[in-house]
């Protein structure tokens, strides 16, 4: 546990960028304003398209910011040789992403509570949980050797939401139809299963190749 907290702090330190943090905060202020001013009723045709676009795209700069630590830890032998190196390359990026996503999700749920119909809140909660899971996959797998395919799949699943929800064949154009307690339970299960799977995958990656991968410049994919 001591190694985890040390790795957690190191990852945030490696990811620290006033410019990216500022852009992320500004972008997500506009996201919250869009939730208010692009108001759509559940009965509207573009309701889920609005929810999917706003929540899906709101993760973009948060992910870019938190991926910013990857080039530093991947290209610096200090981090690979640190006593907490396993946590730094496996669980710390996941935890860092969840911390930021939880804060933002709380703000967006609060905005949604006052800006949208009460019946829209379950859809917002489910979508935020979905986005949180795949954001953590993207952040943890970015720039990791042999993780390019699952990284790209996670990118596609996360950022294709506006296209999927606006498709005329999308089944749930007026929401998923769950009550608030059901939505909270579904979101909790998604987070537990998704984050648990992410931790398992990253630990398997570490045991297979993480201890010996080469420190060399790599392209940033997003």
Please, what are the averages of pLDDT over each run of 10 residues along the chain (222 residues)? Answer: 90 92 91 80 81 84 90 83 88 95 92 87 94 94 88 91 82 88 97 97 85 47 41
Q: Which pLDDT score is estimated for 221?
A: 40
Which pTM value belongs to this model? Answer: 0.88
pLDDT at 214: 52
Nearest Cα to 24, choosing from 52, 51, 56, 61? 61
> Which among 73, 76, 64, 68 has a CA at the least distance from the CA of 28?
64
- Report pLDDT for 211: 57
Is residue 21 within 8 Å of 145, Cβ to Cβ? no
């Amino acid at each position: 546990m001591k190694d985890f907290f040390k790795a957690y702090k190191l990852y945030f330190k490696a990811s620290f960028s006033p410019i990216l943090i500022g852009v992320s905060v500004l972008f997500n202020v506009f996201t919250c304003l869009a939730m208010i001013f692009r108001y759509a009723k559940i009965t509207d045709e573009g309701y889920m398209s609005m929810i999917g676009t706003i929540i899906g795209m709101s993760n973009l700069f948060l992910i870019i910011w938190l991926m910013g630590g990857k080039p530093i830890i991947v290209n610096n032998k200090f981090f690979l040789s640190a006593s907490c190196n396993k946590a730094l390359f496996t669980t710390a990026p996941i935890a860092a992403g969840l911390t930021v996503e939880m804060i933002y999700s709380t703000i967006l749920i609060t905005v949604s509570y006052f800006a949208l119909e009460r019946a829209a809140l379950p859809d917002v909660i489910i979508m935020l949980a979905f986005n949180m899971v795949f954001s953590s996959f993207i952040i943890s797998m970015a720039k990791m050797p042999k993780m390019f395919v699952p990284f790209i799949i996670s990118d596609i699943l996360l950022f294709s939401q506006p296209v999927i929800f606006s498709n005329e064949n999308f089944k749930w154009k007026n929401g998923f139809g769950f009550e608030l307690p059901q939505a909270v339970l579904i979101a909790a299960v998604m987070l537990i299963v998704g984050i648990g799977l992410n931790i398992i995958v990253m630990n398997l990656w570490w045991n297979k190749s993480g201890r010996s991968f080469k420190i060399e410049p790599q392209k940033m994919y997003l």
